[in-house]
Structure 1
Amino acid sequence: MLMALSTSSPLSLLPTATPAPSAAPGQLVTAALLGIVLIVVLITWAKLHPFLSLTIGALATGMIAGMLVGAVVTSFTGGFGSTMGGVGILVALGAIYGKLLADSGGADRIVDTLVSRATPRTLPWIMGLIGAIIGLPMFFEVGLVLLVPVIILVARRSGVSLMRIAIPTLAGLSAMHGLVPPHPGPLAAIDALGANLGITLAFGVIVAIPAIIIAGPLFAPLAARWAPVPVPALFLSAEDEGDTARRRPSFAATLGSILLPVALMLLKAVADIVAPGSPELWKTVLDFLGTPVIALLIAVLVGLLVLGRGAGFDRARLNETVGSSLGPIAAILLIVGAGGGFKQVLIDTGIGAVIASFVAGSSVSVLLLAWVVAALIRVATGSATVATITAAGILQPLTESLDQPMVALLVLAVGAGSLFLSHVNDAGFWLIKEYFGLSIGQTLKSWTVLECLISVAGLLGVLVIALFV
């Protein structure tokens, strides 16, 4: 089951074994810190494009860490290709779907409904709920590319600042990603630690709700002051361009097309729980349809029919929409791919093994230890998935003396730690930065703080529950 989960992730870079450290611990830590500083300096001071900065920083990090030049290049290109093969395809499909949603007027239907039935005060809370629902069965990147058009159009149409809309939505997506099964991350930790799925699910929901509230609607006003950016000129809709008389698809058709990939991925997740590894035809079909790339591809094809035809588009107009959607995301794809390459260089240096050795034999509370291990690996490698799997593997021997409620809390402590401090070695960091037109500083003050709030709130929730079990 573990291997099936790891290969389905769009950011799947999980090694079959923890890489051996390529140098002494001090050298590895120095290499990681210098690489991160170099990237930030190149982008902010030298004004070098993030793609080139990430590439240079990754190569420098690997060589400082003692890797051979050929090995560094192989590691970087492997990480770049793996990320592009997962996230790159998802971003491209999401861009096509988002442009179709905007051009057809379908996004207008959704946005008009949300804006007309909510006040500026309640809108962030509604967006947080939408993010949580969409994020439950989905990888973060999939939910993000589906919801970016809605976030941008809601902010543009409502007059509410972009961060007040985006932050609650992102909080809902991210909390589900790290804390609540049947999301694949928590499921992998459940499998590795032998936790009870039902108990973990119940505790996960209890922990996730306050984390979303704190990092979403409550933090959003502060994020809006720290990152006062205008709404990006993306996904301009018919109404935004003054064409309000044109035919639009119905609300039901639009909502159905948005929820279709959510339903497909949720069905796959449920099937993985009910019949893991089953060779039966129905399970094979659900595994195929629920794969993120396939689910989004189906959403695009259905969107071409339901949204395009619902708006009265002919074939030429549909092709124009698809073609015009891809150009604006070229820079995003290259930056995200380079971020994945940098992350893989860090993983291949073996810094995760160094962190594991630092905490071995610690007398700290097992739940706090789990959070710290996952957080350190996340900060060092940039991958929540790698942090979850690695930390679960390190902590597995500790579960022999724990009852099932405590093992479930251990899973959630690992999940909370895996979300901590997203920064320049995380491909998700660059997705948020580029989609919403933020500077590195603004991304750190909004997205990175949001992730830290979810992580710390998640840990506190776990520790509070532990007092009663």
Structure 2
Amino acid sequence: MGEDMMLIVYLVIALAIMLGVVVFFKLNVAMALVIASLFMGIASGLGLVGTIEGISNGFGSMMRDLGIPIGLGVILGKLISDSGGAYSIAHAIVTKTSEKLALYSIGLAAFVLAIPVFFDVAFLILVPLSVQIGKQLNKPLPYPVGAIVIGAALSHTLVPPTPNPLAAASILDFDLGIMISIGAIVGFIATLVTIKIYFVILDKGFWKKETDEDSTMDNPYGKMEIPDNPPSAWIAIIPIILPSIMILLGSVGNVIYDENPEIITFLSDRIIALLIGAIAAYFVAAKSLNKKQRDASSSEAMQATGIVLLITGAGGAFGAIIQSTGIDQAILDIFVSDAQSVLSVILLAFFMGVLFRTITGSGTVAGITTMTIMAGVVTGVDVHPVWVAMASLSGGLMLGHVNDSGFWITTKIAGLSVKGGLKTYTTSEAIAGIVVLIITLIGAHIF
């Protein structure tokens, strides 16, 4: 067996170790990533010391690029959520559309909300509102629940400042402004298309209330405490769009100037942009939260950031070890043909993302690990790296199931059975992943 193929075999074994550690020993996925990294490095000949150094360097490199931005992004989202601003945005989007488009507006509201906040927060905010609208429209539970899952999942997966899309520009070395623009456009289109496809499937009798809903739950639709005097939707959305505008300023500057002026480079840096967004969120939240409450909200956000940073860093460590082995070139040699290089790279990134998501249950791990592996591959192919990022992320969106916390949040909060969770969370995200893949393949061949 050739050296390239042996590296592939080692990678498969490392993935199997990761799966075994998570499923059978119930260890945290971050610990599983470190254990898999140790095996991969030692087996592929990096040596004991070299493997440890690779893990440390990979973790440190990822934290250097993303640690502060992720923390600031979480603070921003927590303040907007706790102040009631997120609810104001959602309510404004849903109430300003016609009854015919109400369920689509729920999906778009979820898409907007999940840009600054995590999936579970966006879901909790929208579930009571969406279920009420579903009852008014005489639509079964999976219609409003599925719309929320689709919009929130696509936004969380494709649009910075959530960890995966934020990491994409650093890992694959391209302009973050491009990731914001492409992620937002593709995500918006994919949200509408996926909701339509999912509703067509539901219209054909896919849902069975008797087996797919859990009638034993006392409070199936969750509850979010909204302050009495939340900021308006227009005010609350400022901290969300302001960082994106600042980052895009740098992208525009790259087109206008041979080299961006220092002030534009400074203002468009992701740390500065998200710092300004977090400060804006702090002032916006002042309408409904006093200083003590805002400080408490920020502190809770930082506590929640810990596990996200640990998993993100561990994913970077695993990716760095894989990259150190030269497996990127092995993948290029074995799987990517000269005749169909762009198609092969896009599909390879997609299916690797699917594999990692299915095994680990974490879209963050799936996206970051896949993009790190593909970083070396993409340099040898005539395709913009943003499309490799989109393929990796869309694969990481696929097949979330019982080893995914989002699955249980959706299932338990919405009052579904496990079968119902598979029919909403898993099915809708699978459709979304395929829709994004199709858009990515088109985009990669046009731009």
TM-score (norm 2): 0.69
Stretches of structure 1 lacking an aligned partner (at least 5 in a row):
1-22, 135-141, 191-197, 397-406
The match for 2:362 is: none
- 1:117-136 alignment, distance < 5 Å: 117-118=96-97, 122=101, 125-126=104-105
> Alignment RMSD, CA only?
4.8
The match for 2:138 is: none
- 1:219-234 alignment, distance < 5 Å: 219=198
- 1:286-297 alignment, distance < 5 Å: 286-297=264-275
Pair 1:41-2:20 in alignment: yes
The match for 2:233 is: 251
Kindly state the Cα deviation for residue 145 of structure 1 after the two structures are TM-superposed: 4.1
What is the alpha-carbon distance in structure 2 between the residues aligned to residue 211 and residue 153 of structure 1?
22
- The answer to whether the 8 A contact 2:62-2:316 is kept is yes
Kindly state the Cα deviation for residue 276 of structure 1 after the two structures are TM-superposed: 4.2
Q: Which amino acid aligns with 1:421?
A: G
* Cα distance change of structure 1 residues 447 and 294 upon mapping to structure 2, 3 Å threshold: farther
What is the alpha-carbon distance in structure 1 between the residues aligned to residue 192 and residue 39 of structure 2?
40
Kindly state the Cα deviation for residue 289 of structure 1 after the two structures are TM-superposed: 1.8
- The answer to whether the 8 A contact 1:61-1:345 is kept is yes
The match for 2:147 is: 164
What is the alpha-carbon distance in structure 2 between the residues aligned to residue 386 and residue 263 of structure 1?
27
What is the alpha-carbon distance in structure 1 between the residues aligned to residue 289 and residue 392 of structure 2?
46
Count residues with an aligned counterpart.
392
What is the alpha-carbon distance in structure 2 between the residues aligned to residue 342 and residue 389 of structure 1?
13
What is the alpha-carbon distance in structure 2 between the residues aligned to residue 154 and residue 74 of structure 1?
44
Which of 69, 90, 99 pairs up with 2:69?
90
- The answer to whether the 8 A contact 2:115-2:240 is kept is no
The match for 1:267 is: 249
What is the alpha-carbon distance in structure 1 between the residues aligned to residue 171 and residue 20 of structure 2?
35
Question: What is the percentage of aligned positions where both structures have the same residue?
Answer: 21
What is the alpha-carbon distance in structure 2 between the residues aligned to residue 444 and residue 347 of structure 1?
31
TM-score (norm 1): 0.66
Provide the secondary structure at the position in 2 that maps to 1:395.
coil
Q: Which moved more, 1:299-308 or 1:453-462?
A: 453-462
Which of 326, 345, 350 pairs up with 2:326?
350
* Cα distance change of structure 1 residues 357 and 106 upon mapping to structure 2, 3 Å threshold: same
What is the alpha-carbon distance in structure 2 between the residues aligned to residue 115 and residue 202 of structure 1?
24
Q: Which amino acid aligns with 1:155?
A: V
The match for 1:298 is: 276
Pair 1:116-2:95 in alignment: yes
Kindly state the Cα deviation for residue 307 of structure 1 after the two structures are TM-superposed: 2.0
What is the alpha-carbon distance in structure 1 between the residues aligned to residue 98 and residue 373 of structure 2?
39
The match for 2:339 is: 364
- The answer to whether the 8 A contact 1:99-1:321 is kept is yes
What is the alpha-carbon distance in structure 2 between the residues aligned to residue 172 and residue 342 of structure 1?
25
- 1:371-386 alignment, distance < 5 Å: 371-372=346-347, 383=368, 386=372
Q: Which amino acid aligns with 2:232?
A: S
Kindly state the Cα deviation for residue 351 of structure 1 after the two structures are TM-superposed: 0.6
Pair 1:153-2:125 in alignment: yes
Which of 390, 396, 415 pairs up with 1:422?
396
What is the alpha-carbon distance in structure 1 between the residues aligned to residue 389 and residue 396 of structure 2?
14
Pair 1:311-2:293 in alignment: no
* Cα distance change of structure 1 residues 253 and 376 upon mapping to structure 2, 3 Å threshold: closer
C-alpha offsets along residues 101-149 of structure 1, whole Å, 9 cap, x if unaligned? 1222222211221232357874564466578889xxxxxxx94647764
* Cα distance change of structure 1 residues 330 and 256 upon mapping to structure 2, 3 Å threshold: same
Pair 1:454-2:436 in alignment: yes
What is the alpha-carbon distance in structure 1 between the residues aligned to residue 200 and residue 25 of structure 2?
32
- The answer to whether the 8 A contact 2:65-2:170 is kept is no
What is the alpha-carbon distance in structure 1 between the residues aligned to residue 294 and residue 185 of structure 2?
44
The match for 1:394 is: 380
Stretches of structure 2 lacking an aligned partner (at least 5 in a row):
132-140, 357-365, 412-420
Provide the secondary structure at the position in 1 that maps to 2:20.
helix
Q: Which amino acid aligns with 1:297?
A: L
* Cα distance change of structure 1 residues 316 and 83 upon mapping to structure 2, 3 Å threshold: same
Q: Which moved more, 1:291-300 or 1:375-384?
A: 375-384
The match for 1:139 is: none
C-alpha offsets along residues 229-277 of structure 1, whole Å, 9 cap, x if unaligned? 99xx9x97542xxx5xx22223321122221112111222211222242
- 1:191-206 alignment, distance < 5 Å: none
What is the alpha-carbon distance in structure 2 between the residues aligned to residue 259 and residue 113 of structure 1?
16
Q: Which amino acid aligns with 1:319?
A: D
- The answer to whether the 8 A contact 2:328-2:377 is kept is no
